[in-house]
Structure 1
Amino acid sequence: MARAVVEVDRRLSGSVEILLLNKFGPHEAEGRGFRDSIACAPERGLPVLMGVGRFNLEAFDDFAGGLAEVLPPDQEAIRA
């Protein structure tokens, strides 16, 4: 996982339009994993799209501080 995080961070400094992650999972909820990458992406003007499971929703809400937008499971909403 650590190597993947390093690679994602390296690529975020390049020509990227979005950070797309599978989920905000237990590692991120505990302050590890892709948490710093997720936090840095908006600072670089990048949207972040990821899933958040019910077990990590409270930790994600604390992390996001009200800045996250919940999208319906709809292609048009996601693309917009």
Structure 2
Amino acid sequence: MGVRVVRIQVRVMRSKWASMSTAGNLTLNSELVELPRELGEYVIVHELVHLLAPNHSKLFKSFMLAYVPDWEEREARLRSIVV
């Protein structure tokens, strides 16, 4: 993807699966390991794409489609799971 993550941390997060700071710090919810692999992959790619496109614009969605072609289906599955 050509992005640079400065730091990765794993911790309990009450309302998110992950977050990416503008400085390149990736925080992952420790409960990600309990998800099916394809959903965890979606979460991680989603956060990495934020380094290419900071919001959920058309550009962001284009990157998601390029890296995870079925991202919308994965996102829908993830939304059905409570954090």
TM-score (norm 1): 0.34
Q: Report which of the two has the higher share of helix.
A: 1
